Amino acid sequence: MGIAPWRWLFALCLRLLFLVPAGVPVRSGDAGFSKAMDNVTVRQGDSAILRCAVDSRVTRVAWLNRSTILYTGNDKWSIDPRVVLLSNTQSQYSIEIQNVDSYDEGAYTCSVQTDNQPKTSRVHLIVQVPPRITEISSNIAVNEGSNVSLVCMATGKPEPVINWRYLSPKARGFVSEDEYLQIIGITKEQSGQYECSAANDVSAPDVRRVKVTVNYPPYILETLNIGAPLGHQGVLRCDALAVPAAEFKWYKEDKRLSESRRGVKVENSENFSRVTFFNVSEQDYGNYTCVATNGLGQSNASIILFEIFQSTSSPLLQEETTAALTPLKGRAGASCLVFGKTRVGSVLELHLP
Ligand SMILES: *[C@@H]1O[C@H](CO)[C@@H](O)[C@H](O)[C@H]1NC(C)=O
Ligand SMILES: *[C@@H]1O[C@H](CO)[C@@H](O)[C@H](O)[C@H]1NC(C)=O
Ligand SMILES: *[C@@H]1O[C@H](CO)[C@@H](O)[C@H](O)[C@H]1NC(C)=O
Ligand SMILES: *[C@@H]1O[C@H](CO)[C@@H](O)[C@H](O)[C@H]1NC(C)=O
Ligand SMILES: *[C@@H]1O[C@H](CO)[C@@H](O)[C@H](O)[C@H]1NC(C)=O
Ligand SMILES: *[C@@H]1O[C@H](CO)[C@@H](O)[C@H](O)[C@H]1NC(C)=O
Ligand SMILES: *[C@@H]1O[C@H](CO)[C@@H](O)[C@H](O)[C@H]1NC(C)=O
């Protein structure tokens, strides 16, 4: 574009004005406009309006971004389409910057000439940026006892405050008040969801979650010995906690329990295994071992299926029987631990092979 020589001169004059080191007394209070303007704070993506108050003595006006001229009078110098002139009147000279981004932040200067005397007024454009998590650890699976470190990085303006929370009904407060979360010697109770939050007061916090899986070897919960009358049903149950889920195997004495035998059903789920004898026979009584295994190890427990003699025809519930026999696990008197016949009340007798 052809630029009139006066514009060059004027531009040069403005440039000199703003490239001059600070401290040069270019400000004066008399024009009214040049007293320190308030900073302009806008959110990223919004429009910023830069206003400059002028009066009738003003002969030339311009807005500059640092040392770059954006507008002089009605002439646009900036090639940025987001910069538009809003008003150029006797009292006000304003421009608008649309769709503001963080790189627009900085000092903008309104420059006016009054009586051949240049005066400037500076305004800081402050761009606020909502918090955004830019980097976060992936979901992980670790073995119990490992050290875990999670990281969460975020951007935003003002600088977001980052913290970590453990999402558990029992957890209180933050587990970390910065971008790093360090867990030394993680326990299985510490597995679950961890949430990183990045917050500033520009908009709602940015929140993301990381799932931490803690692997551990099987742990068999307390088992119960089971009594069942001949020809009745008997159920052995073995509960195990493990991550990854355990695989179960049953042994009777040293032999693997055949799961395909008629009259026997073995059901395995994620955290328990159940053996059902639909029609308990003499050979079924005995000492069973439940073995729970996963990649990290194994654990076993023994469960005894013992015979109950029904001396009356009243159908006894297995639950009652089991309750009566729980002492076999160790709380009981010596008589109950003896493998043989013991009277319990008047209705049943125990017989352990
Ligand atoms: C405007 O912002 C600048 C830079 O952030 C700061 O130094 C100055 O104190 C602010 N002025 C006002 C009036 O807030
Ligand atoms: C202001 O200047 C900066 C630095 O040169 C530039 O990145 C930005 O786009 C400019 N903004 C406007 C609205 O001219
Ligand atoms: C876990 O961290 C502790 C303390 O920093 C260190 O002593 C230990 O060796 C670490 N353990 C592993 C498995 O890296
Ligand atoms: C066993 O697993 C089921 C479903 O996977 C779960 O609801 C239950 O709480 C678990 N039991 C134990 C003792 O962990
Ligand atoms: C249980 O097994 C015995 C011996 O094999 C048989 O006589 C009896 O009929 C069976 N009872 C049922 C309910 O299947
Ligand atoms: C059952 O078997 C296990 C392992 O084979 C053994 O440790 C345990 O003492 C046995 N229980 C009884 C009551 O014999
Ligand atoms: C049961 O566990 C003990 C000790 O952990 C081990 O020595 C034994 O071999 C296990 N039994 C079976 C049947 O896996």
Pairing of strands 83-88, 92-97: antiparallel
Q: Which ligand is nearest to the CA of 253?
A: 6
CATH 3.30.930.10 for the 137-214 domain, yes or no: no
Q: Give the residue, by CA position, lying nearest to ligand 6 atom 14.
A: 287
The pick from 250, 254, 289, 302 for probing ligand 6's pocket by mutation, whose C-beta has the most ligand atoms within 8 angstroms, reads 302
Distance in angstroms (rounded) separating the CA atoms of residues 52 and 109: 9
**The domain 16-128 is classified under which CATH number: 1.10.1660.10, 2.60.40.10, 3.30.565.10, 1.20.1440.230?**
2.60.40.10
CA distances, 272 to each of 18, 236, 308 (Å): 78, 11, 25
pLDDT one-digit tens code per residue, 313-333: 544 444 444 444 443 433 333
Nearest CA-CA partner of 224 in 291, 309, 322, 321:
322
Distance 147 CA to ligand 3 centre (A): 6
How, if at all, do strands 206-220 and 140-143 pair?
A: parallel
Look up residue 84 and give its amino acid. V
Q: Which pLDDT belongs to residue 254?
A: 87
Residue nearest atom 7 of ligand 2, based on CA coordinates: 103
Exposure b/e, 285-309, CB count within 10 A at least 16 = b = beebbbbbbbeeebbebebbbbbbe
Structure tokens at 126: 């402050």
**What is the pLDDT, as a whole number, of residue 165?**
95
Question: Which among 121, 124, 159 is the best mutation to test ligand 1's pocket, defined by most ligand atoms within 8 Å of the CB?
Answer: 124
Query: Taking CB atoms and a 6 Å cutoff, what residues make up the pocket around ligand 3?
Result: 146-147, 184
What's the pLDDT tens digit per position in 281-298? 999 999 999 999 999 999
Q: Where are the domains of the chain?
A: 16-128, 137-214, 221-307, 315-351
Q: What pTM was computed for the model?
A: 0.70
Does 221-307 match 16-128 at the fold level? yes
Which tokens hold the place of 120? Answer: 């400037």
pLDDT score of 95 = 97
- Do β-strands 234-243 and 206-220 pair in parallel, antiparallel, or remain unpaired? antiparallel
Residue % of the chain over a pLDDT of 90 = 70
Residue 146 CA: nearest ligand 3 atom is: 13
Kindly indicate the confidence band of residue 6, based on its pLDDT and cuts at 50, 70 and 90. low
In order, the DSSP letters of 242-260 are: EESPPEEEEEETTEEPPTT
Gap from CA of 276 to ligand 3 centroid (Å): 46
Nearest CA to ligand 6 atom 4: 302
Residue 304 alpha carbon to ligand 7 centre in Å = 16
Choosing among 3.90.550.10, 3.40.1190.20, 3.40.50.300, 2.60.40.10, the CATH entry for 221-307 is 2.60.40.10
